[in-house]
Amino acid sequence: MASGGRSYQLYAGVVTIFSHLIAITVTVLVLVWLLKFQGGFAFKSGNTQKIFNLHPFLMVVGLIVIGGEAIMAYKTMPGTRRAHKGVHIILHLLALLAGILGTYAVFKFKDETDPFFQFLLGFFTFFFSGAAMPARANILPWHTFFGMVIFLLAVCTAETGLLQRFITLGLGLNQEGLIVNFTGLLIFLFAVTVTLSVILPRNHY
C-alpha cells in the first residue's frame, strides 16, 4: 500500500509539471497568434481589432492559465497551508482582474458582433469562485467541486470563442489556423491536467 501511495504522489507531481509546461506553451501560442497574425493588442488604438485582441489574451492567459495555476497552488508548491492559501487567493485575484479587463475590452470594441453571454459567463463564474472562499473545512469539498465546474465552464467558453474566431476569420490548414487549433487542443489538455492534479494526492516535501 505504501509503495502504491508513493506512486500516486509521484504521478501527481509529474502531472503538475506537465501542466505548467502546457500553460507556458498556451501563453506563447496566444501571443504569437495575436502579435504576428492579428496585429497585436492595445487598450487605446485607432484599430479596434487591437482592442478586441485583448479579450482572448486576458481570458485565456488570465482566467484559464492563471486560474488553473491558482487551483494547483495547493499541489505544486512547498510550504505551509497558509502559504498555499495565500498564493491561491492572489492568483485568483489576478485571474479576476484579467477577466474584468478582458470583458471591458469586448465592450470597448465598437464593431463587436458576437454574443456577450459566453464572455460574461466565464467572467462572472470566476468572480463568484474567488468570492466564495471556504470558511470551514466541511464546505471545502463543495468549494473544490464548484471551483472545478467553474474552471471547466471557462475552458468550454474559451474553446467556443476560439472556434468562433476560426470560423469568422475563415482559417484553414494555414499557419494561423494550426496555431489556433493547437491552442484549443492545449487548453483542453491543460484542463485535463489541472483536474488530475486536484484528484491525485498532494506530494510530500
Query: Does residue 130 belong to any structural domain of this protein?
Result: no
Whether pLDDT at 114 is above 50: no
60: closest CA among 117, 16, 99, 113? 99
Query: Does residue 49 belong to any structural domain of this protein?
Result: yes
Query: Does residue 205 belong to any structural domain of this protein?
Result: no
For residue 47, the 8-state DSSP code is: -
Q: Is the pTM here over 0.85, yes or no?
A: no
Query: Does residue 133 belong to any structural domain of this protein?
Result: no
Query: Does residue 134 belong to any structural domain of this protein?
Result: no
Mean of the per-residue pLDDT values of the chain: 76
Tell me the residue range of the domain where 167 lies: 7-118+142-199
Q: Please tell me which of 11-15, 117-121, 173-177 the model is most confident about, judged by mean pLDDT.
A: 173-177
Residue 106 CA from chain centroid, whole number? 18
Report d(CA 14, CA 96) in Å as an integer: 28
Type of residue at 35: L
Grid cell locating 145 = 467541486
Grid cell locating 40 = 497585436
| Residues 158 and 65: beta-carbon distance below 8 Å | no
Whether pLDDT at 173 is above 50: yes
Domain count, the chain: 1
- Confidence bin at 200 (pLDDT 50/70/90): confident
Q: Kindly report the CA angle at 108 between 28 and 57, in degrees rounded to 5?
A: 10
Query: Does residue 159 belong to any structural domain of this protein?
Result: yes
Question: For position 188, what pLDDT does the model report?
Answer: 95
Query: Does residue 22 belong to any structural domain of this protein?
Result: yes
Query: Does residue 137 belong to any structural domain of this protein?
Result: no
Taking only the tens place, the pLDDT of each residue in 77-97 is 766 777 777 887 888 888 888
Structure-derived torsion over alpha carbons of residues 42, 48, 52, 54, reported in degrees to the nearest 10: 0
- Within 10 Å of residue 175's Cβ, how many Cβ atoms? 12
CATH of residue 100's domain is 1.20.120.1770
| Residues 123 and 100: beta-carbon distance below 8 Å | yes
Whether pLDDT at 163 is above 60: yes
CB within 8 A of 195, min separation 6: which ones? 148, 152
- Confidence bin at 126 (pLDDT 50/70/90): very low
Give percent above pLDDT 90 in the chain.
20
Taking only the tens place, the pLDDT of each residue in 5-57 is 444 445 667 788 899 999 999 999 999 999 988 888 877 777 777 888 888 89
| Residues 200 and 12: beta-carbon distance below 8 Å | yes
